[in-house]
A and B are shown apart, each in its own frame.
Chain A
Amino acid sequence: MIATALRVANQLRRDPGTLALLLVVPAVLMTLFRYLFSEFLFTLVGPSMLGVFPFIVMFAVTAVTMLRERTAGTLERLLAMPMRKVDLLLGYALTFGVIATVQSGVLIAWSVFLGLDAPSGLLVLVAVLDGVLGMALGLFVSVFARTEFQVGQMMPAFVLPQLLLSGVFGPREEMADVLRWISDALPMTYAVDASSRLVRDEGLSGEVVRDLVVLGGATLLALVLGAATLRRQTR
């Protein structure tokens, strides 16, 4: 597991473009939000974005990295060797988890600089969980893509509905029942909900705890689904 984590970290180090994408893009997007809206609106919408950006960026990078592992044949080689599947997934999760943490730290620090009140350190936890969830789902969907081009096309399919229904663009209370049910089933909803509540200085309320549990559960589920897609034998 540690060997795999170090190997993935080594590969990322060789790819400064991707690292920059991971660390800088969320902050740049947040800056756009700041100057797109009035300061008041930004304090309302900004925190929700803390639950969106880490997810999107980690999703894309992980899906592509795992896809490369499949197409290059290295995955088949690893699975033919004495390696446990869980070690492979946890190796990935460890490195990308560390990156998600650094990314969230940068994003939150920058958001505070832009004028967002971030009273709770718990925000970091939400952003990290959100990034790790994006990573786990990225691992999972890499099975359904044959090329990196297809991964690009999966972004709108997996990410946009979650974003639209997460409550960022309109309060969930005003959604039609069916849409709200769907919204209830999508994990990003809980990341957006938790970060909004935390910025409103609710502290560790029951709702925030529920949000965190749902995010953690969804991440575990995605990792288990990801493990199930690693087949040692193929047709």
Chain B
Amino acid sequence: MIEISELVVDRDGTRVLDDVTAVVRKGSVTGLLGPSGSGKTTLLRAIVGVQRITGGSVRVAGLPAGHPELRALIGYQTQAPSVYADLTVAENLRYFASIARCDRRRVAAVLEDVRMSELAGQLVSRLSGGQRARVSLATAMIARPPLLVLDEPTVGLDPLLRRDLWRTFHRLAAEGTTLLVSSHVMDEARRCTDLLLLREGGLLAACTPAELGDDLEDAFCRLVEGVPA
């Protein structure tokens, strides 16, 4: 679904991504893990096509990232909830549904997916941070895009809700959606089918959770230090 080849991104003179080569399988739930500042958001932005790249290439569904046709194929949730605070939850979703040219009846379904149906009539400015993040997530999912790029969608949510969201992600994957989900919390790796580990702008490893063993934190450290398992 996504092919990244020798990707280099410089921002304001600093190298944020350095020679990243990776693949995201179609239908996978791929976790992009790494500490804060490792370049996760920049990599996701490059895939979505809103980040100008310095070198290398990013291809999504066979097209170069940023291609106009891809805009209808990718649902993107930014790290900060990008929804209108002065509209209600439902108004936000109806607006983005019409921009994405999809059926407005999707609004109810997608609100159920993120467990926000009861708050549909609330102004976003009255919601908590986690609730806003879920509205933002619902917005990304509204048009049932074949690729979902989610930047830390589960940050600050209670464990029950996190579990529900991951179940939704896997249900979508089973229906053929590809998901790329970033997180700085290592134990979220368990819930992914594939992993990309990022550190200081470089790809540390591309593997499955099983390959990392039981102690993910420890496995990450060993990878950084180059110690074999």
Contact = CB atoms under 8 A, between A and B. Distances in A.
Interface of A: 3-4, 7, 10-11, 14-15, 72-74, 76-83, 232-235
B48 interface: yes
Interface string B25-55: 0000000000000000000000011111000
B71 A233 contact: no
B11 A235 contact: yes
Contact of A232 (B50, B82, B96): B50
Interface residues of B, number: 31
A10 B91 contact: yes
B101 A82 contact: yes
Contacts of B76: 77, 80
A142 B49 CA distance: 23
A235 B12 CA distance: 8
Given A80-B50, A232-B66, A235-B11, 8 more contacts: A3-B98, A10-B87, A72-B85, A73-B80, A74-B82, A74-B83, A233-B49, A234-B51
A80 B148 CA distance: 13
B160 interface: no
A81 B52 contact: no
A233 B66 contact: yes
Interface in B44-88: 48-52, 66, 68, 71-72, 74, 76, 78, 80-87
B100 interface: yes
A14 B85 CA distance: 11
Contacts of A11: 84, 86-87
B86 to A, nearest CB: 5
Interface string B121-148: 0010000000000000001000000000
B102 to A, nearest CB: 10
Contacts of B86: 11, 14-15
Contacts of A74: 82-84
A234 B52 contact: yes
A72 B124 CA distance: 13
Given A80-B50, A80-B76, A232-B66, A72 B82 contact: yes
A102 B84 CA distance: 25
Nearest to B125: A14
Contact of B72 (A72, A79, A82, A235): A82
Contact of A72 (B52, B66, B84, B99): B84
A234 B52 CA distance: 6
B12 A76 contact: no
